Copies of this chain bind each other. A is one copy, B any other.
Amino acid sequence: MHHTIFFDNASSTRTDARVFEKMKPFFMQKYGNPSSLHDMGQEAKDAIEEARDRGAALLGVAAQEIYFTSCGTESNNFALWGLAKSLQDKGKHIISSSIEHISILNPLKELKKQGWDYTLLPVDSFGMVNPEDLAKEIRKDTVLISIMHANNEVGTIQNLKTLAKIASEKDITFHSDGIAAAGIIPMDLKDLGVDAYSISSQQMYGPKGAGAVYVQKGHRLKPYLLGGTQERGRRAGTENVPAIVGFGEAAKLAAEEMHIHAAHITGLRDAFIKGIMDQIKNVKLNGHPQKRLPGNVHISFEYIEGESILLLLNMEGIAAASGSSCASQALKNSQVLLSMGLTPTTAQGSILFSLGKFNTMQEVDRVLEVLPAIIDKLRKMSPLYKEE
């Protein structure tokens, strides 16, 4: 395991050792329930509040605007449902995009069953939403817009500020799924002008088991998990203290070190892309040439299918992904790629290499060493490929 080259940071990141150190005491020493009145409860509560401060600092918002959840999916479900339910007397139309994560798209379908209506905006071949499209689709009863910040598959970063401005001019609440972006690229949510934002710990070298929703003060937010008064009544359930503490530390480290890592990762990414382009024919880089996540290398290899590429990479100790990991076992073609206009056949042969702060140029070189032969082997097996 330890020699795996992990180019799948979009699915999961290694917990930073400093984050883990910070979490450790909360399992066997500081194990109080944050709702308990006694010192051990208060100690846990203080730790959560410190984590909240750090999460808020990363996003440039106030601590009391942050609500912790158990994962990115819960953040998205909660934000959509909690905002939609709070706004339902004003209207029941939601606008989102066709490249959203399934933890946005599926709740939208459920809301539709419950009487809401929604519109999904198209994207261009780079995966960008056109602000004019957004303006056009706004209706009298549009109360909520949810457009992701960075796409987890192709890495495209939206012009969030422009989109949020259109919403705010019409007094429509604007949410963004920032799970692939937070902790990776710098941001100031107040400057971006979004009303609500979802983030997740495990995408930024924090542990699994913690997510958060930012909701700007003044917005109503109906709780999704119901029960006790945790998170000021917005999210019931005993807090996952160690994970939240780890999330806080990850946010602090991200705020401090993000620019260094981004430079490092961008360097790897660009070298890797150039290496692939130089050595392998009939490949296509998906996503936006400039507005992309630092670690995103999303490539379509013509004539062959993604899973078989992944398998051969895996045999070489290289971990990568095809499409979104939550769907990768389902083998469905990526809606994101189809929305960007790829043919189904090309979409089938797409691989996401997602680089992270722990990756090195040696690893990039090693992958570039084995990748051409893998692609060649599979192409030679493919009925679609005619040797030149």
A residues lining the B interface (CB < 8 Å) = 1-2, 4, 6, 8, 11-15, 17, 20, 23, 27-33, 35-41, 43, 70-74, 76-77, 101-104, 106-107, 109-110, 200, 202, 207-210, 225-230, 236-243, 307, 310-311, 313-314, 318-322, 324-330
Instruction: Please tell me if the beta carbons of A227 and B326 are within 8 angstroms of each other in the complex.
Output: yes
B29 contacts A12, C-beta separation under 8 Å: no
Q: Tell whether, in the assembled complex, residue B37 and residue A329 are in contact, meaning their CB atoms are under 8 Å apart.
A: yes
- Across the interface, do A328 and B36 meet the contact criterion of CB distance under 8 Å? yes
Given contacts A76-B227, A236-B326, contact A15 B31 (CB under 8 A): yes
B28 touches A227 (CB 8 A): no
Query: Closest CB-CB distance, A37 to chain B, in whole Å?
Result: 5
Which of the residues B14, B325, B330 comes within 8 Å of A31, measured between beta carbons? Answer: B14
DSSP majority for the A interface? loop
Residue among A2, A110, A225, A242 with the most chain B CB within 10 A?
A: A225
A207 and B242 within 8 A (CB): yes
**Contact at A310–B38, with CB atoms within 8 Å?**
yes
Contact for A237 among B8, B32, B70, B311, CB less than 8 A: B70
Q: A328, B225: Cβ atoms under 8 Å?
A: no
B37 touches A14 (CB 8 A): no
* Most chain B CB neighbours (cut-off 10 Å) among A72, A230, A243, A324: A243
Chain B residue numbers with a CB within 8 Å of A15 are 27-28, 31
Q: Which residue of B is nearest A13, CB measured?
A: B31
Cβ of B30 and Cβ of A327 under 8 Å apart?
A: no
Q: Are A319 and B12 in contact (CB under 8 A)?
A: no
Contacts of A320 in B (CB 8 A): 38
B11 touches A36 (CB 8 A): yes
CB of B70 within 8 A of CB of A35, answer no
Which of B1, B20, B202 has a CB less than 8 Å from the CB of A40? B1
Residues of B within 8 A of A225 (CB): 73-74, 77
Contact of A36 among B8, B103, B110, B311 (CB under 8 A): B8
Identify the closest chain B residue to A236 (Cβ): B73
Tell me whether A238 and B202 are in contact (CB under 8 A). yes
Residues of B within 8 A of A2 (CB): 29
Asked if B39 and A4 sit within 8 Å, CB to CB, the answer is yes
Q: Point out the residues of chain B lying under 8 angstroms from A14, CB to CB.
A: 27-28, 31
Complex alpha-carbon distance, A295 and B17, angstroms: 37
Question: In the complex, what residues of B have CB within 8 A of residue A43's CB?
Answer: 1
Interchain CB contact (< 8 A) of A39 among B35, B202, B319: B319
Chain B residues contacting A36 (CB-CB under 8 Å) are 8, 11-12, 319, 321, 325, 328
Contact B39 A12 (CB under 8 A): no
> A228 is contacted by which of B35, B103, B311 (Cβ under 8 Å)?
B103
CB-based contact B236/A103 at 8 Å: yes
Chain B residues in 8 Å Cβ range of A313? 38
Decide: A311 and B242 in contact? CB cutoff 8 A: no
Known: A31-B15, A72-B237, A327-B228. A39 touches B1 (CB 8 A): yes
Measured between beta carbons, the chain B residues less than 8 angstroms from A30 are 1
